[in-house]
Amino acid sequence: MKRNAMKFMALVLALSLICVMFAGCGKSKNDKNEQGQTVISIGGWPDKEGTELDTVNARKEAFEKANPDVEVVPDYWKFDRKSFYAKAAGGQLPMVYNAGVTEIPEIMESGYSADLTEILKKRGYEGKFNPKILEIISK
């Protein structure tokens, strides 16, 4: 049971890393609303009532309270290859979105991901990620 929990945590970490890697994609990185707040759109937002939506909304509220200069905007689009490139070409990708690990190299080659190497180093994350995952998501 403990081994399964560790595998699950590794998966969550990998997915979180993928989300972070794509932060900054989509519209202009300096999008501001009328109040001057930076607007961050988050893809894959739950679209059905329930625990998952309640949890994500609570995190959004806590984040916005801790960061009053930021507005988080839900985006219900979930990654799929059929719509990805059309949304990307039209500048309609959310700033943060999930994608399958196998999709990452192609997304990187197409220029639809941000290089977060220096940001992660600056924040002390260097050397803290699974090297196998880094091989896939690094140029």
pLDDT of 2 strictly over 60: no
Q: What is the pLDDT of residue 102?
A: 86
Q: What is the pLDDT of residue 138?
A: 82
CB atoms within 10 A of CB 10: 12
- Which amino acid appears at position 101 of this protein? V
Q: Print the domain residue range for 48.
A: 2-137
Q: What is the pLDDT of residue 27?
A: 45
For residue range 48-63, what is the model confidence (pLDDT) as tens digits? 999 999 999 999 999 9
> What band does 93 get if pLDDT is binned at 50, 70 and 90?
very high
pLDDT of 21 strictly over 70: no
The rounded mean pLDDT for the chain is: 83
- Structurally, how many domains does the chain consist of? 1
Instruction: Give the contacts of 132 (CB within 8 A, at least 6 positions apart).
Output: none
Query: Which 8-state DSSP code applies to residue 32?
Result: B
Where residue 111 sits, what CATH number does that domain have?
3.40.190.10
Query: Of 46, 44, 41, 12, which is closest to residue 24 (Cα–Cα)?
Result: 41
Alpha carbon distances (Å) from 29 to 38, 54, 55, 120: 9, 28, 26, 17
Q: What is the pLDDT of residue 139?
A: 74
What is d(CA 115, CA 98) in angstroms, rounded to the nearest whole number?
A: 16
Q: What is the pLDDT of residue 135?
A: 85
